[in-house]
Amino acid sequence: MIRCSGRSIIGIGSGPDCDGEVQVHLDTLGLQNFHIPKHSKVYTRFHEESIEHLTTYRNEVVGGVFPTTDYGFKIDDDEFDLFMNEVEKAS
């Protein structure tokens, strides 16, 4: 088919003789936790990694480990007063 058409052939699961290959990133990045098509190569497992990371995040928040002041911002008292004055004016 490739030789006869004279055109570029893009395939999905068609093997190495095509001019281009289509891959679905949901499959190749492991973003789903169900059937992966035979033609897809999974390069990483973001779904599983995401579950692990979100579980760690939840446990840190519930346990009071995160967030700490290291991950926040402090506003100067004068700046806060200016802000509150603007809030009062707008109310």
Q: Find residue 10's DSSP bridge partners.
A: 20
Average pLDDT over residues 8-14: 87
DSSP class of 42 = P
User: Tokens 């002041």 identify what position?
Assistant: 69
Q: What is the dihedral of CA 15, 20, 25, 27, to 10 degrees?
A: -10
Residue 29 pLDDT: 92
* Averaged pLDDT of the chain: 91
Q: What's the predicted TM-score (pTM) here?
A: 0.56
Domain ranges of the chain: 1-44, 47-91
The 10s digit of each residue's pLDDT in 45-72 is 999 999 999 999 999 999 999 999 999 9
Residue 47 pLDDT: 92
* 21 to 9, 13, 24, 73, 84: CA distances (angstroms): 9, 8, 10, 47, 58
pLDDT at 1 over 70: no
pLDDT at 34 over 70: yes
